[in-house]
Every structure is written in C-alpha cells, then in structure tokens.
Amino acid sequence: MSVQDQIKGFGITFRTMVSRPLTLGYPEVKTPVFPRFRGRHQLWRYDDGLEKCVGCSLCVAACPADCIRVVAEENTPEHRVSAGERYARIYEINMSRCIFCGYCELACPFDAITLEHSYELSERERDLMVYTKDMLLTPAPKQPPLRTVGQRV
C-alpha cells in the first residue's frame, strides 16, 4: 500500500467523521428504493375487472424456491374470473420461502404478477407469511418512495 493510498483513505475517513449523520425516522419516513427493487408480489386485473392470471402455472415451474402454489379451475359462462379458459382458483405465495428473484414475473406471459416496491413484509406468525390470492390482488397499503438518480440516503 503506497503513501498516496493511505492519504486517500485518511481523507475519506476524515470527511466521514466531519459530516453530519443522516437519521431517518423509519416508521414515518420510508427509505427510498431503486426503481428495479423487487419487493412484495402483486397480482393484477384487467380494466374490466377480470384477472390476468389464467392459472397456467408457469410461475410455479420457474420458481427456484418452490414457494408458489397454483390450483387452476375452468371458467364457465356463469362464473367468469379470467380472460382465458381457466383461472387460478388458489394462488398462494409463501413469502418466508421466497428469494425475490423475479423469475415468476419473467415467466408470466400475461404480466399477471409483478414484484412491487413495498418491503414491509414481517409478520408475527409464520402462517401469515403465506399470501393468498385475495391478499395479492390488493395493492400494498404503503408504497415507499423511489430513489432518484444521485440521491443519497
């Protein structure tokens, strides 16, 4: 290590020592996330109210953590849920197993599932970490702000 490297390191240390710490009041002020951040899953509907998910189970096949469960059922003229021939009667994601890789999002040909920016996913009981279809169809209550280019946190 040369003397120049040591001086550069001391300079960084000194600048850090004299700068004021940034304190965020977490529950009230959310930490901004990058636009490509992958957080809580969300299932989507078309504008007419039909679900985008047709129960094809491609997301299940793509998931390396084996945390998605889909049980498909046929649409009937009286009970139309999705635009396809089938719909996902049961759609569950075990969030305690999910590794947030985004493969489910990439595998879906209908853009029915996306990973949103919400990162508050803790629960007190393990059973509550299994997100059902109804939970996934509703958006997360609080979305964190997006980080802009050059913004420090």
Task: Tell me which residue range forms the domain holding 43.
Answer: 23-137
Give the pLDDT confidence score for residue 17 in this predicted structure.
87
* pTM listed for this prediction: 0.80
In a domain, 8, yes or no: no
In a domain, 40, yes or no: yes
CATH code assigned at 32: 3.30.70.3270
Distance CA 14, CA 12 (A): 5
With beta carbons less than 8 A apart as the criterion, state whether 136 and 79 touch.
no
Task: Give the torsion through C-alpha atoms of 74, 76, 80, 82, to 10 deg.
Answer: 30
In a domain, 123, yes or no: yes
Phi, psi of 75, deg, nearest 5: -75, 145
| Overall number of domains in the chain | 1
Instruction: From first to last of the 153 residues of the chain, give the pLDDT tens digit.
Output: 789 999 999 999 998 888 887 777 888 888 889 999 999 999 999 999 999 999 999 999 999 999 999 999 999 999 999 999 999 999 999 999 999 999 999 999 999 999 999 999 989 999 999 999 999 999 988 888 898 876 766
In a domain, 18, yes or no: no
With beta carbons less than 8 A apart as the criterion, state whether 90 and 78 touch.
no
In a domain, 1, yes or no: no
In a domain, 117, yes or no: yes
